[in-house]
């Protein structure tokens, strides 16, 4: 029971830090994100520093993970078993990129921006959830 509470509190703390970082960096503003993606128009390079910082933190995290025998709150790590670049990965990446470019959100900032009460956040999150449900209902069953 104590381990489960510690796991929930750790996840909550990590989510709060992540959401605060997204807010502080401007990732909750779809216009700013779209400005970053508009490399042939009014390009806003400021989010390149956010992405660079994210890569640095993820790289450090992966180094720490590699030195650990097991995670703090589980028996084993749950890492992808395949590193193949296949059709599903490419199509999924293209859909993710299109959603990010058109909507100005990716999943993390979309959920965090719901706290702002913006209608575009609600619409994006609704379509994102619908896409996840369609995937689970049709695509995942065919490929399992």
Residue 118 has what pLDDT? Answer: 84
Looking at residue 47, what is its pLDDT?
86
Task: Check if the beta carbon of residue 104 is closer than 8 Å to that of residue 33.
Answer: yes
Backbone angles phi, psi at 94, to 5 degrees: -65, -40
Other CB atoms within 10 A of residue 28 CB: 23
Residues in the chain: 144
How far is 36 from 50, CA to CA, in rounded Å? 11
What pLDDT, on the 0 to 100 scale, is given for residue 69? Answer: 92
Per-residue confidence (pLDDT) for residue 143, from 0 to 100 = 63
Per-residue pLDDT at 144: 57
Helices vs strands, H then E, count in the chain: 7, 0
pLDDT of residue 79: 84
The pLDDT tens digits along the chain (144 residues) read: 677 888 899 999 998 998 898 888 888 888 888 888 888 988 889 888 888 998 999 999 999 999 999 988 888 988 888 889 998 889 889 988 888 888 888 888 888 888 888 888 899 999 989 988 988 888 767 765
Q: Where are the alpha helices (DSSP H) in 26-86?
A: 30-37, 46-67
Task: Say what the pTM is.
Answer: 0.70
């Amino acid at each position: 029971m104590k381990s489960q509470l510690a796991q929930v509190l750790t996840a909550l703390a990590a989510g709060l830090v992540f959401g605060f970082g997204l807010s502080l960096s401007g990732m909750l503003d779809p216009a700013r994100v779209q400005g970053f993606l508009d490399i042939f128009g009014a390009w806003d390079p400021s989010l390149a520093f956010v992405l660079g910082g994210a890569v640095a933190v993820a790289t450090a995290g992966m180094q720490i993970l590699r030195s650990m025998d097991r995670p703090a709150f589980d028996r084993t790590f749950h890492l992808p078993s395949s590193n193949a670049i296949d059709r599903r990965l490419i199509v999924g990446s293209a859909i993710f990129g299109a959603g990010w470019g058109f909507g100005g959100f990716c999943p993390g900032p979309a959920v965090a921006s719901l706290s702002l009460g913006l209608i575009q956040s609600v619409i994006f999150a609704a379509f994102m959830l619908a896409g996840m449900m369609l995937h689970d209902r049709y695509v995942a069953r065919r490929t399992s």
